[in-house]
C-alpha cells in the first residue's frame, strides 16, 4: 500500500521502461520515493491517513516485535471455546484489538460445515478445533489459552504457526486477561511507524488521556516482554495528536541512545504529563 | 506496448516487495455443470436447452441479480460434463441426482485442486433438472444456495465509504411472505488453507421494500474499507430461519398437484399437551386441560392445522347443590404468516379457525337449596375465530405469544339456542432437545387464560315465566402446563 501510494505520487506511468532496466528502476524508484516525500507535512494532515493506512495493513498480518490482535480461548471437548470479549475491557490495559462476538459469529458462519449427506452427524465448526484454526479464522497474531491454571500466551507467524511465548499462572491481582497480559508485557505502547521526527504509536485508548507524555524504552524494538530490570528510558515524547488507540508523538528530551528507540517496534510507557 | 511494460513493471514490483502470504482472495468465477443424470437426457433435451436453463439459473447467482440483491459471481460458465473435470473456475455448481431427487451443490476448489462443499440444496421431486433450473422458482433455489455460501453477494463497487446511502438493492417479489433481514454483514474474506478468514468491515441496514425491490443502506463502515477492496455481504442473523422458509416455498411450488396429493403427510408437526388450572373456581378448580394438535407441512394440505382440546367431566358439590361440567372443541385452521428478521419478533401470523364445540354445564340444587336448577349445553356448536400470534426464535428456544377470539352467533346459526363468545391469550415456549435424521422432538411449556361467555336465548314461554332464570354463564380459567411436539 505504501509503495503503491508513493509510486502514484511519482506518476510512473509517464516513464518509458524496458525489461533490461526493470530491476534498476525498481530500486531507484524506491530511493526517489523517499526523496519525493518532500518537506515535512503538518501533523494534522498525516495523522489520520497514517492511522487508516496502518489499520488497513495490519488486518490479519503478524507484527514483528509486538502483539496486535489477541483472542482468549479455553479447552472445550475436542476443541476450544473462544471466549467473547469486549473491546472496551481490553482498552483499559492494552493497545491490542480483540475479536468481538460479531467477529466470532462471522467466522463461524463463513466456515460452517455443509454435509454432503444430510443424515451424517453434524461436525463441529472447523474454526474452533485448534489454536491455529482459531488464529486463522479470526485473523489473530496472538492467543491466550486459559484452559489450565498456568495461562499460555502464543504468538503466530505469517504461516499461522504458533510459538509459545509464556506459561504463567495469573496473580491474585490479575482481575482480567488484559491486566495479566499488560503485567507480562511491562509496557504501555509501541511505535508502529516513524516519519521524520514524528512517531506513530499504539496506546491503550482507555488509559491514555489527552495530555500525556511517554517514555521510549531502550533496546525494546524486537522484544515482546520487557523484564523490569532491563527497562530504561531513552527519550521523553510529547503528544501531538490522538485518535482512538493511535497517537502521534514528538520527542522533546532525548538522550544519546534515543535514536535507536525511534524505530518500528520500540516500546514505551505512559508518563502522566502536565 | 508502453502500457504493457508498465503493467509488467508493476507486477515485478509487487512480487519483489509484497510479502508472500497464504491468504488468497476467493475468486468469483463459477462453472455450472450437470452430472449423474442419464446422458440421454442431455442429448434428448439437447444442449441448447441445458444452456438456456443454465444461463437463466446463472443469472440469479451472479452480480447481485438474485433475490434481495444476492449473487456473488462475476462470470458463470455452463458445462454438460459428466466427469466434473472440465471446470477450471474456483467455484463449481454441480447439479446431480436421479429421477426422484435433484441435488445442487456448490464447491470451492483450492489451487491444489481440493474441493470443499460450501452450499447444498436437495429436492425430492420428479421434475427434471432443466425444468427446475428454468422455472420461476429457480430464483428461490439460487437464493437458497447463495444464502448458504460464506458470502451471498458482493458490495457494489460504487460504494462510497461514509456516504450513508450507498448500499444494496434487489428484487424481492418471489420472497412473498418474508420480510428482508434488518441487517447484513459487510466484510472482506480470504481463503487461508482450508479455512475462510473473514474481517468484519461494517453493516448494511434495511431501508425499505418498495414494490418489488428491497434496499439496504450502508450504516457503518470501518475507516479505509472499500477503497479498492472487494467487500462481501452475508446474512448472518436468522440465516437458518430464512433458509427454512425458502426451502418450504421451493418445495410447495415444485410439486405437481399429484405430488401434493401424495405428499400431504411427508412433513408434519404433531404434539400433545397437559395443563393444570392456575386459578379456577368452583367446578373448574381442578379441571385439567388436555390437548392434541398438528399441522401438515407438505402436499396439498400444507399449512392446515388441527386442534383438539378437552376438559374431562368435572363434578363438584356444596350445600347449594352439585355442578357437573365437561367441554371439548375441535378446530381446523390455516395460518397466514409473515416472517421477519427483526430483533424482537421473527414472525407474525394470522390464523382463521373453524370448529365445533361441545359443552355441558349442569347445576342440580340440593333439597335444602332455594336455587333453581339450570343447564347450558352446546352440542357440536360451530365456532368461528381468529388468532393472531407473534413469534421469536433463537438458537435455544422458540417463544410464541398469541391471542384468539371466537364466537358462534350469526355466521353459522346452527345452534340457535346459545350464543358463545370466547377470548384467549397465551404464551408457548418450545425447546428442541432430540434431533434424529429428519425427526425433531421438542418440549413445550405453555400458559393460557381463557374467558368464555355463553348466553342462552330464552323461549317466549321462559320470558313470560315468573321463575328465576339463568341467562348467562361466564367461565374464566387459566392453565400452566407442558407437552411434547414431534416434527418431521
Selecting from A17, A55, A111 the residue whose C-beta is nearest the C-beta of B6 gives A17
CA angle B66, B173, B226 (to 5 degrees): 40
* Chain A CB within 8 Å of residue B367 CB: no
The answer to whether the CB of B107 falls within 8 A of the CB of B210 is no
Residue B234 to residue A118, Cβ atoms within 8 A: no
Q: What is the pLDDT of residue A8?
A: 36
What residues contact B4, with CB distance under 8 A and at least 6 apart?
Answer: none
Task: Report d(CA B346, CA B437) in Å as an integer.
Answer: 25
Residue A105 to residue B236, Cβ atoms within 8 A: yes
Cell of B273: 399437551
Selecting from A106, A115, A160 the residue whose C-beta is nearest the C-beta of B198 gives A106
DSSP count for chain A of H helices, then E strands: 7, 11
Task: Report d(CA B258, CA B265) in Å as an integer.
Answer: 13
Cell of B477: 380459567
Nearest CA in chain B to A49: B224
Residue A26 to residue B13, Cβ atoms within 8 A: yes
Cell of B324: 357437573
Residue A18 to residue B193, Cβ atoms within 8 A: no
Q: What is the pLDDT of residue B20?
A: 33
Q: What is the pLDDT of residue B162?
A: 55
Residues A191-212: b if buried by 16+ CB within 10 A, e if exposed: bbbeeeebbbbbbbbebbeeeb
Selecting from B16, B188, B234 the residue whose C-beta is nearest the C-beta of A26 gives B16
Q: What is the pLDDT of residue A80?
A: 92
Q: What is the pLDDT of residues A195-251, one digit of tens each?
A: 888 888 888 888 766 667 888 888 888 888 888 777 788 888 888 888 888 888 888
Query: What is the side-by-side strand order in the sheet with A151-156?
Result: A79-82, A70-76, A142-145, A151-156, A162-168
Q: Which residue has the cell 467477529?
A: A103
The answer to whether the CB of B399 falls within 8 A of the CB of B429 is yes
Rounded to a whole number of angstroms, the distance from the CA of A227 to the nearest CA of chain B is 32
Return left, alpha or beta for A139; rule: phi > 0 is left, psi -120 to 50 is alpha, else beta. Answer: left
pLDDT, average across residues A81-97: 88
- B23 contacts on A by Cβ (under 8 Å): 60
Nearest CA in chain A to B122: A118
Q: What is the pLDDT of residue A30?
A: 40
* Chain A CB within 8 Å of residue B185 CB: yes
Q: Which residue has the cell 486477561?
A: A177
Selecting from A22, A102, A119 the residue whose C-beta is nearest the C-beta of B9 gives A22
Q: What is the pLDDT of residue A61?
A: 52
Residue B195 to residue A133, Cβ atoms within 8 A: yes
For residue B183, give the nearest of A113, A106, A84, A99 by alpha carbon. Answer: A106
Q: What is the pLDDT of residue B168?
A: 87
For residue B12, give the nearest of A59, A57, A18, A8 by alpha carbon. Answer: A18
Task: Report d(CA B371, CA B361) in Å as an integer.
Answer: 15
Q: What is the pLDDT of residue A173?
A: 63
> Containing H/E element for B381?
strand B374-393
Q: How many CB pairs under 8 A join A and B?
A: 105
Q: What is the pLDDT of residues A151-169, one digit of tens each?
A: 999 998 776 777 777 777 7
Residue B332, beta-bridge partner list: B306, B354
Residue B198 to residue A26, Cβ atoms within 8 A: no
Distance of CA A158 to the CA centre of its chain: 13
What residues contact A5, with CB distance under 8 A and at least 6 apart?
Answer: A53
Mutate to test the interface with B, among A2, A5, A28, A110 (most CBs of B within 10 A): A110
Q: What is the pLDDT of residue A24?
A: 36
Q: What is the pLDDT of residue B54?
A: 87
Q: What is the pLDDT of residues A101-144, one digit of tens each?
A: 899 999 999 999 998 887 788 788 999 999 999 999 999 989 99
* Chain B CB within 8 Å of residue A39 CB: no
Query: pTM value?
Result: 0.66
Task: Report d(CA B26, CA B72) in Å as an integer.
Answer: 11
Return left, alpha or beta for A265; rule: phi > 0 is left, psi -120 to 50 is alpha, else beta. Answer: left
Task: Report d(CA B197, CA A54) in Å as an integer.
Answer: 19
Nearest CA in chain B to A128: B195
Q: How far is CA B192 from CA A49, A69, A154, B49, B198, in A?
A: 29, 17, 19, 39, 10
Selecting from B122, B195, B234 the residue whose C-beta is nearest the C-beta of A126 gives B195
* ipTM attached to this prediction: 0.77
Coil vs helix vs strand at B392: strand
Rounded to a whole number of angstroms, the distance from the CA of B342 to the nearest CA of chain A is 17
* Chain A CB within 8 Å of residue B84 CB: no
- A103 contacts on B by Cβ (under 8 Å): 200
Rounded to a whole number of angstroms, the distance from the CA of A115 to the nearest CA of chain B is 8
For residue A134, give the nearest of A114, A111, A151 by alpha carbon. Answer: A111
Low-confidence ranges of chain B (pLDDT < 70): 1-23, 36-46, 81-87, 135-136, 158-165, 223-228, 254-266, 280, 298-300, 339-343, 395, 409-416, 436-438, 466-468
Mutate to test the interface with B, among A109, A125, A140 (most CBs of B within 10 A): A109
Residue B13 to residue A137, Cβ atoms within 8 A: no
> Containing H/E element for B483?
strand B472-487
Rounded to a whole number of angstroms, the distance from the CA of A61 to the nearest CA of chain B is 9
Residue A114 to residue B120, Cβ atoms within 8 A: yes
Distance of CA B429 to the CA centre of its chain: 17
Amino acid at each position: 500500500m505504501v509503495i503503491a501510494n508513493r509510486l502514484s505520487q511519482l506518476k510512473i506511468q509517464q516513464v518509458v521502461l524496458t525489461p533490461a532496466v526493470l530491476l534498476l528502476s525498481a530500486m531507484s524508484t524506491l530511493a526517489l520515493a523517499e526523496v519525493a516525500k518532500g518537506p515535512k507535512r503538518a501533523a494534522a494532515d498525516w495523522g489520520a491517513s497514517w492511522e487508516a493506512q496502518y489499520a488497513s495493513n495490519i488486518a490479519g498480518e503478524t507484527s514483528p516485535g509486538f502483539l496486535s490482535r489477541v483472542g482468549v480461548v479455553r479447552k472445550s471437548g475436542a476443541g476450544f471455546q473462544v471466549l467473547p470479549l469486549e473491546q472496551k475491557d481490553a482498552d483499559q490495559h492494552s493497545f491490542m484489538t480483540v475479536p468481538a462476538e460479531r467477529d466470532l459469529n462471522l467466522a463461524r458462519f463463513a466456515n460452517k460445515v455443509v454435509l454432503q449427506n444430510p443424515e451424517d452427524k453434524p461436525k463441529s465448526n472447523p474454526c474452533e478445533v485448534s489454536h491455529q484454526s482459531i488464529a486463522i479464522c479470526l485473523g489473530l497474531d496472538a492467543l491466550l489459552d486459559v484452559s489450565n491454571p498456568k495461562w499460555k500466551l502464543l504468538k503466530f507467524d505469517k504461516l499461522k504457526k504458533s510459538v509459545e511465548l509464556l506459561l504463567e499462572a495469573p496473580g491474585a491481582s490479575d482481575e482480567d486477561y488484559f491486566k495479566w497480559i499488560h503485567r507480562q508485557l511491562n509496557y504501555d505502547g509501541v511505535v508502529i511507524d516513524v516519519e521524520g521526527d514524528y512517531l506513530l504509536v499504539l496506546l491503550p485508548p482507555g488509559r491514555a488521556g489527552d495530555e500525556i507524555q511517554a517514555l521510549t524504552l531502550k533496546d525494546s524494538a524486537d522484544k515482546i516482554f520487557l523484564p523490569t530490570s532491563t527497562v530504561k528510558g531513552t527519550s521523553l515524547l510529547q503528544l501531538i495528536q490522538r485518535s482512538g488507540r493511535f497517537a502521534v508523538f514528538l520527542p522533546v528530551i532525548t538522550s544519546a541512545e534515543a535514536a535507536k528507540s525511534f524505530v518500528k517496534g520500540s516500546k514505551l510507557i505512559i508518563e502522566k504529563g502536565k | 506496448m508502453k502500457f504493457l511494460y508498465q503493467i509488467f513493471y508493476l507486477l515485478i514490483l509487487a512480487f519483489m516487495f509484497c510479502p508472500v502470504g497464504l491468504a488468497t482472495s476467493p475468486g468469483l468465477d463459477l462453472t455450472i455443470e450437470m452430472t449423474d443424470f442419464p446422458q440421454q437426457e442431455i442429448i434428448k433435451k439437447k444442449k441448447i436447452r441445458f444452456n438456456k436453463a443454465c444461463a437463466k439459473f446463472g443469472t440469479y447467482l451472479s452480480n447481485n441479480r438474485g433475490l434481495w440483491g444476492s449473487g456473488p459471481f462475476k462470470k458463470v460458465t455452463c458445462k454438460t460434463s459428466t466427469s466434473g473435470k472440465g471446470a477450471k473456475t474456483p467455484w463449481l455448481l454441480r447439479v446431480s441426482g436421479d429421477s426422484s431427487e435433484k441435488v445442487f451443490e456448490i464447491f470451492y476448489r483450492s489451487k491444489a485442486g481440493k474441493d470443499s462443499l460450501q452450499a447444498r440444496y436437495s429436492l425430492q421431486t420428479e421434475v427434471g433438472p432443466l425444468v427446475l433450473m428454468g422455472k420461476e422458482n429457480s430464483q428461490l433455489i439460487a437464493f437458497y444456495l447463495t444464502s448458504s455460501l460464506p458470502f451471498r453477494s458482493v458490495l457494489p463497487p460504487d460504494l462510497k465509504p461514509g456516504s450513508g446511502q450507498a448500499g444494496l438493492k434487489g428484487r424481492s417479489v418471489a420472497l412473498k411472505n418474508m420480510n428482508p433481514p434488518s441487517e447484513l454483514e459487510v466484510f472482506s474474506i480470504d481463503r487461508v488453507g482450508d479455512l475462510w478468514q473473514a474481517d468484519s468491515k461494517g453493516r448494511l441496514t434495511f431501508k425499505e421494500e418498495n414494490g418489488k425491490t428491497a434496499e439496504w443502506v450502508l450504516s457503518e463502515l470501518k475507516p479505509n474499507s472499500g477503497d479498492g477492496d472487494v467487500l462481501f455481504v452475508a446474512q448472518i442473523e436468522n440465516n437458518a430461519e430464512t433458509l427454512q422458509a425458502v426451502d418450504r416455498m421451493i418445495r410447495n411450488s415444485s410439486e405437481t398437484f399429484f405430488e401434493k396429493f401424495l405428499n400431504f403427510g411427508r412433513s408434519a408437526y404433531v404434539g400433545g399437551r397437559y395443563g393444570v388450572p392456575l386459578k379456577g373456581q368452583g367446578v373448574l378448580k381442578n379441571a385439567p386441560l388436555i390437548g392434541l394438535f398438528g399441522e401438515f407441512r407438505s402436499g396439498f394440505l400444507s399449512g392446515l392445522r388441527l386442534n383438539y382440546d378437552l376438559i374431562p367431566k368435572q363434578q363438584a358439590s356444596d350445600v347449594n347443590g352439585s355442578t357437573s361440567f365437561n367441554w371439548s372443541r375441535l378446530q381446523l385452521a390455516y395460518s397466514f404468516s409473515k416472517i421477519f428478521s427483526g430483533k424482537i419478533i421473527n414472525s407474525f401470523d394470522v390464523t382463521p379457525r373453524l370448529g365445533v364445540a361441545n359443552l355441558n354445564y349442569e347445576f342440580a340444587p340440593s333439597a335444602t337449596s332455594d336455587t333453581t336448577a339450570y343447564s347450558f349445553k352446546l352440542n357440536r356448536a360451530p365456532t368461528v375465530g381468529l388468532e393472531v400470534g407473534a413469534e421469536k426464535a433463537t438458537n435455544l428456544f422458540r417463544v410464541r405469544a398469541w391471542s384468539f377470539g371466537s364466537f358462534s352467533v350469526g355466521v353459522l346459526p346452527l345452534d340457535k339456542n346459545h350464543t358463545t363468545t370466547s377470548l384467549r391469550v397465551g404464551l408457548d415456549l418450545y425447546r428442541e432437545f432430540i434431533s434424529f435424521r429428519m425427526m425433531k422432538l421438542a418440549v413445550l411449556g405453555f400458559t393460557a387464560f381463557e374467558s368464555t361467555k355463553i348466553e342462552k336465548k330464552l323461549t317466549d314461554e321462559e320470558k313470560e315465566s315468573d321463575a328465576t332464570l339463568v341467562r348467562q354463564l361466564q367461565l374464566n380459567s387459566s392453565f400452566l402446563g407442558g407437552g411434547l411436539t414431534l416434527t418431521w
